[in-house]
Amino acid sequence: DTEVTQTPKHLVMGMTNKKSLKCEQHMGHRAMYWYKQKAKKPPELMFVYSYEKLSINESVPSRFSPECPNSSLLNLHLHALQPEDSALYLCASSQARQGAYEQYFGPGTRLTVT
Amino acid sequence: GENVEQHPSTLSVQEGDSAVIKCTYSDSASNYFPWYKQELGKRPQLIIDIRSNVGEKKDQRIAVTLNKTAKHFSLHITETQPEDSAVYFCAARDGGYQKVTFGTGTKLQVIP
């Protein structure tokens, strides 16, 4: 299995809602990433987990809360989002060892905040 | 932090011609340089990558060159086809961490 899956594909939420995005991979990768991508822009790194521990937080607002419950799963919990948070949220995974850098992206969740 | 610049932002070529996209990076510690192709509404797909200890890499119609001294790298696509039309992103990975910084993207249009 060489695929990263993400659910849901689309999500519409109000500013007072709480929702979660889910990412899963079964490639044995121990590094997982969340990116945010606005239209016509490159992906921007949000968080990196390495061996289920948060290793990078790119100063992301606390209304985004990541979680890595096990080596195959990555969640992004959303609360009190703003309309400007509407974007494509991409998950990616890679091996965590030195020299194994290739990242594999999931199809993304398109989030709309109303 | 790392800064990656990418040019041009748009590129139109006739089918069969070559396309070249150029990127520069700022952090001399960066050691891995992937290129991604992203079609509209789809995920970024890795098409080729190069590590800092290699100067050139080729895979069929796609090649990447790296000049570490000048801190720039380029993507070359030969014999372009309409299905090559997409947005292409270069990226650089820092040497000590797992952070990948993307360039601003190049929208390639191959005209049949």
Tens digit of each residue's pLDDT (9 = 90 or more) over A3-23: 999 999 999 999 989 999 999
- The more confidently predicted of residues A98 and B11 is B11
B44–A94: do the CB atoms touch at under 8 Å? Answer: no
Give pLDDT, residue B97: 67
Q: Measured between CA atoms, how close is B89 to chain A, in angstroms?
A: 7
The rounded distance, in Å, linking the Cα atoms of B74 and B101 is 16
Q: Considering only CB atoms, which chain B residues are within 8 Å of A33?
A: 98
B98–A56: do the CB atoms touch at under 8 Å? Answer: yes
Give pLDDT, residue A97: 75
Closest CA to A103 of A52, A58, A48: A48
Contact between A31 and A94 (Cβ < 8 Å): yes
B96 pLDDT above the threshold of 90: no
Give Cβ neighbours of residue A88 (< 8 Å, ≥ 6 apart): A36, A37, A38, A108, A109, A110, A111
The rounded distance, in Å, linking the Cα atoms of B72 and B24 is 4
Residue B30 sits at the vertex; the CA angle it makes with B29 and B35, to the nearest 5 degrees, is: 170
Contact between A12 and A112 (Cβ < 8 Å): yes
Contact between A49 and A31 (Cβ < 8 Å): yes
Contact between B63 and B93 (Cβ < 8 Å): no
| Torsion over CA: A108, B83, B21, B57 (sign) | positive
Q: What is the mean pLDDT of residues B80-101?
A: 90
Chains A and B: how many Cβ contacts under 8 Å? 50
A51 pLDDT above the threshold of 60: yes
- Mean pLDDT for all residues in chain A: 93
Q: What is the mean pLDDT of residues A24-38?
A: 95
Q: Which of B43, B99, B104 sits opposite A90 (nearest CB)?
A: B43
B44–A90: do the CB atoms touch at under 8 Å? Answer: yes
Q: Which of A50, A90, A102 sits opposite B46 (nearest CB)?
A: A102
Residues of B with CB under 8 A from a CB of A: 32, 34, 42-46, 49, 51, 89, 93, 97-105
Q: What is the mean pLDDT of residues B5-26?
A: 98
Residues of A with CB under 8 A from a CB of B: 31, 33, 40-45, 48, 50, 55-56, 58, 90, 94, 96, 101-108
| Torsion over CA: A38, B28, B108, B56 (sign) | negative
Q: Which of A42, A56, A106 sits opposite B104 (nearest CB)?
A: A42
pLDDT tens digit sequence for B27-75: 998 999 999 999 998 999 999 999 988 899 999 999 999 999 999 999 9
Alpha carbon distance, N-terminus to C-terminus of chain B: 41
